[in-house]
Chains A and B, each alone.
Chain A
Amino acid sequence: MSQASFVGDTVTAVCRDARDGAIYAGQGLGHWGVKMQRSRDDGATWEELAAPAFPAIEGAESHQTKDGKPWPMRVEQLWTIVASNASRPGELWCGTVGGALFRSRDHGASWEFCRALWEHPSRAEWFGGGADVPAIHSVCVHPEDPDDVVVGVSCGGVWRTRDGGASWTLGGKGMFAAFMPEARKFDTAIQDPHRLAQCDAAPDRLWCQHHNGAFVSDDRGETWRSIDVPPSVFGFAVAAHPRDADTAWFVPAKKDEERVPVDAAVVVTRTRDNAASFEQLREGLPQAFAYDIVLRHALAVDATGSQLAFGSSTGGLWVSEDGGDRWSMVDARLPPVYTVAID
């Protein structure tokens, strides 16, 4: 551990932009709202940028959530910051708690509200999972086509644009929601994907850790196949190998009503054969009295697929240099880890 920034404040999202080396950090300052910070010197100094924000909307003060609570439209949390691809330096996406998606075309200096997604008729069906309002947590930009973007929403399903956000289609067929009445179990507009992960070498292949299971897609999120991830299909985090479409990692927890590792033992589960089989990787991870939960942005893999890192709700941080075969704990006692990025 060599450096700490924003000590004492909450950082809810972080992005290392491989194109220019900038680091973006989304802060949640409680009383003072959400803030966007950027460093161009590896975190030595930071500058505050304009934070993504809803446009001023007439009558916003009387707006209500799906279940009838007053909610004046405001960005509650910056939840994911994602760099677009190499063809558009300076283009970034930001998903928020509140359910709005934003794009910057100027290295975060300003943010555009993605109105087309917000105004899609099915968006009105979204509701919050673990929060009063829905939230966009995953943004997967096609490596060759920056206008082709898939986003994941809790609870609002899987959405894709092929025209840079001007229009959106709802995917997610095959996902199921046990938290809904039977008649709406397969409703694609209210699914709770906890996290989406894209294989950069084969971007039609997406992996999903969902509230009620784990899924894989071969058509960029349109349809999904349920997969059996031992020791449990519940969890938050998933990472896709950037080069090998058949390899992915999950960090399961017991179930939604018991958010602890199965048998109080931390395990990373890896498939290398497109979910036909899984290995439970435990070497170097705590195997007794461990109550670490790995949140959805807290598992990361590098551009080679060999280095991984994950942090936990109880402040543990582990790294692997061999694709997850062996892990070592970073020597630090951290606050709860929300998000991990690898250079």
Chain B
Amino acid sequence: MVTVEFTKNLARHVECPSKRVAGATVAEALDAYFAEIPAVKAYVLDEQGAVRHHVVVFVDGAMVPRKQALSEPLSEGSVVSVMQALSGG
């Protein structure tokens, strides 16, 4: 199991509590999360399924380049943190 968590700023717009989910990659973990709370998906991914341009993903505290983020492998106990990129203001 891994943990998916979101910047508290997102909770202003949509309920997005931290959750423990199954997943061997960031994409799998997010899919599992969105299966439980579908409303969060469109805040994190665009309609083509890519991580939004000014959203940034950290795995265990390390920033993952946006275009590789979804395929980033996870380990048992990993923490996926979805944050706002400062490039977005």
Q: A-side interface residues toward B, CB under 8 Å? A: 29-33, 35, 48, 50-51, 53-57, 60-61, 72-75
Contact = CB atoms under 8 A, between A and B. Distances in A.
Given A29-B13, A31-B55, A74 B42 contact: no
A10 to B, nearest CB: 11
Say what secondary structure dominates the interface of chain B.
loop
A317 to B, nearest CB: 25
B61 interface: no
B35 interface: no
A325 to B, nearest CB: 42
Q: How large is the interface on B (under 10, 10 to 19, 20 to 34, 35 or more residues)?
A: 10 to 19
B47 A75 contact: yes
Given A48-B39, A51-B42, A31 B85 contact: yes
19 contacts: A29-B13, A29-B43, A31-B52, A31-B55, A31-B85, A31-B88, A32-B13, A32-B44, A33-B43, A33-B52, A35-B42, A48-B14, A51-B42, A56-B48, A61-B48, A72-B48, A72-B50, A73-B48, A75-B47
Nearest to B14: A48
Contacts of B49: 56
Interface string B55-77: 10000000000000000000000
A35 B39 CA distance: 11
Nearest to B39: A48
Nearest to A30: B88
Contacts of A60: 48
Contacts of B13: 29, 32, 35
B10 interface: yes
Nearest to A54: B47
A54 B46 CA distance: 9
A74 B46 contact: yes
B42 A54 contact: no
User: Considering the complex of A and B, which 10 residue pairs feature the smallest CB-CB distances, nearest first?
Assistant: A53-B47, A32-B43, A60-B48, A31-B88, A74-B46, A31-B54, A31-B84, A54-B47, A72-B48, A30-B88
A48 B88 CA distance: 23
A62 to B, nearest CB: 11
Interface in B4-18: 10, 13-14
Given A48-B39, A51-B42, A32 B48 contact: no
A61 B88 CA distance: 19
Nearest to B83: A31
Contacts of B14: 48
